Chain A
Amino acid sequence: MRETATATLPEAWGVLPAVLAVALVGVGLGLVVASVDRAVLAGRTRGAVLEPLREGARLLLEQRRTTLAPDRLLWRLGCVAVPVLALLSLAVVPVGGRTLWSTSADLVWFNAMEALLWAAIWLVGWGPNAFHALAGGYRFLAQGLAYELPLMFALVTVGVAAGSLRTTDVLAAQDGLWFVVTMPVAFAVFVASAAAFAFWGPFAAPTSADIAGGVTSELSGVDRLLVEAGRGVFLGATAAMAAALFLGGDSGPWLPGPLWQLLKTLAVVTALVWVGRRLPVLRPDRTVEVGWMVLVPLTLVQALVVAVLVLSGFYA
């Protein structure tokens, strides 16, 4: 199969600068998500970048409030895990055509970080010993079970077409044609799942108003900052991953590669935030069946189509 000789970021820049750079990219992506969200909400771009920063500083200084008999250890663990997992998932997302960490199972790594988020969000809901928070945690699990299989099949489809689970190989395989052309269903499912595991837009039931904010209802100060920032970084990282897996990553005419990737990522982020803010929150008990009964067969057919295309030499 294709053997790409792309060096990883640490090999190119050294370990510490590479890690710092990817962390910075992650924080930047989170800030971009927050700013776009602010701009979409307010309908104007003035102050869109500054306001999230100001809000973050306020949360940093805010005193924590606590609840009766919380499970502090697990609560803190969950809150810290959310942004850490978001940054770890970014380790296999190509930045300028290279990834921080290149393994033979990058796509599974990305999926695993998202699965660990289940545990983290449930812990954030469990920790404060409060009803609304725990109900939000349970909602996230129910939703997660519904979107997990379609998301996995979408990732599998990409892996089949590229003949590799390595992100840089996926980028190389899209030289001729972006994957979104032959796998639109997988792309749509991937982007929807991105919104779902950041419990964003129509999938915000774990934090919706009918349970007083759900998992985030008892968060304050640094904890709230960590969880909200983690959400933003996850959304940004998944948008970057979607740009890399389906939209050809850094390929494009005239402009330099990293700029193309930035543009594509920004486009996905903007679409996610704009559409997400315009759709009503879906009730899990009225929607999860769609994941099982519609999306699972649909993504399976998508994988079959791609597999047949691979066998006919379409991607070679």
Chain B
Amino acid sequence: MLTDLSGWVIATVAVLGLLSVASGVAVFVVDSMARATFALLGSFLAVAGVLLAFDLVYLAVVTALMMTIEMAIMAVFMVMFMMNPAGLMPMTMVHNPKGSAVVGAGAFVVLTVGIWTIDWPARRGQLPTDSTRQLGEAVMGSHMLVMLIVGIGLFATILAGTVLATARGRYDRFGADLAARRPDDPVPGGLPR
């Protein structure tokens, strides 16, 4: 088990870090919305690579998994809602770019000054032999409350998201007096009902 990173791992981490920031910048620079979405995915994958170098295999792989699915869906929404999804007619859709740039750069400068001036504490303890097991035991043991709340939050998100996104309620599906035996759905879906 590695306890300290070798030189070339540090170099890889630095390159991946640069890559993640560069693709993050590309998100707001490129004209094509499809390219912007996949630039964001590139940023996530670079971060996943850094996590992999830190021996956080599960977190790295789950990041790649979740973010890929998210970005694939994001691409669909981008094409759906943006006026110029392919970037064939470049246009800028920004407001207050100067103020935003100042805020963004300000946040970066403040954080960076803190990062390089703070006297960081020495590392406590050794790397566990299996970081995935450490996380799993925390989820089911010492940090169970976090997972319980996360679970309830995700469940509430599923309900709220469905309610907000759907335009058809039960009166649309089953009639004004809810008397219809079969729901009147525009797309049948597949199951006999």
Q: Indicate if A touches B (C-beta under 8 A).
A: yes
Taking beta carbons and an 8 Å cutoff, which residues of A are in contact with B? 69, 71, 73-74, 77, 103-105, 108-109, 111-112, 115-116, 118-119, 122-123, 126, 129, 138, 141, 144-145, 148, 165, 285-290, 293-294
Distance between A160 CB and nearest chain B CB, rounded to angstroms: 11
B172 at the interface (CB under 8 A from A): no
B38 at the interface (CB under 8 A from A): yes
Q: Mark B73-89, 1 if CB is under 8 A from A, else 0.
A: 10110000000001010
Q: How far is the CA of A116 from the CA of B71 in the complex (A)?
A: 10
The residue that B58 contacts in the complex, of A74, A108, A122, with Cβ under 8 A, is: A108
Distance between B148 CB and nearest chain A CB, rounded to angstroms: 18
A119 in contact with B65 (CB, 8 Å): no
Count, A-B residue pairs, CB within 8 A = 85
**Across the interface, which residues of B come within 8 angstroms of A111, CB to CB?**
65
Taking beta carbons and an 8 Å cutoff, which residues of B are in contact with A? 32, 34-35, 38, 41, 57-58, 61-62, 64-65, 68-69, 71-73, 75-76, 86, 88, 130-133, 187-191
- Are A71 and B189 CB-contacts (below 8 A) given A112-B64, A148-B69? no
**Across the interface, which residues of B come within 8 angstroms of A288, CB to CB?**
189-190
- Are A116 and B68 CB-contacts (below 8 A) given A105-B61, A288-B190? yes
Q: How far is the CA of A144 from the CA of B72 in the complex (A)?
A: 10
Chain A: which residue is nearest B186 at the CB level?
A: A285
- Are A287 and B190 CB-contacts (below 8 A) given A119-B38, A122-B72, A126-B34? yes
A286 in contact with B189 (CB, 8 Å): yes
**Across the interface, which residues of A come within 8 angstroms of B88, CB to CB?**
69
The residue that B57 contacts in the complex, of A73, A104, A116, A293, with Cβ under 8 A, is: A104
B191 in contact with A293 (CB, 8 Å): yes
A119 in contact with B41 (CB, 8 Å): yes
Chain A: which residue is nearest B45 at the CB level?
A: A116
- Are A115 and B132 CB-contacts (below 8 A) given A74-B38, A288-B189? no
**Across the interface, which residues of A come within 8 angstroms of B69, CB to CB?**
115, 118, 144, 148
A141 in contact with B73 (CB, 8 Å): yes
A285 in contact with B191 (CB, 8 Å): no
Q: How far is the CA of A145 from the CA of B41 in the complex (A)?
A: 18
B189 in contact with A122 (CB, 8 Å): no
**Across the interface, which residues of B come within 8 angstroms of A104, CB to CB?**
57-58, 130-133
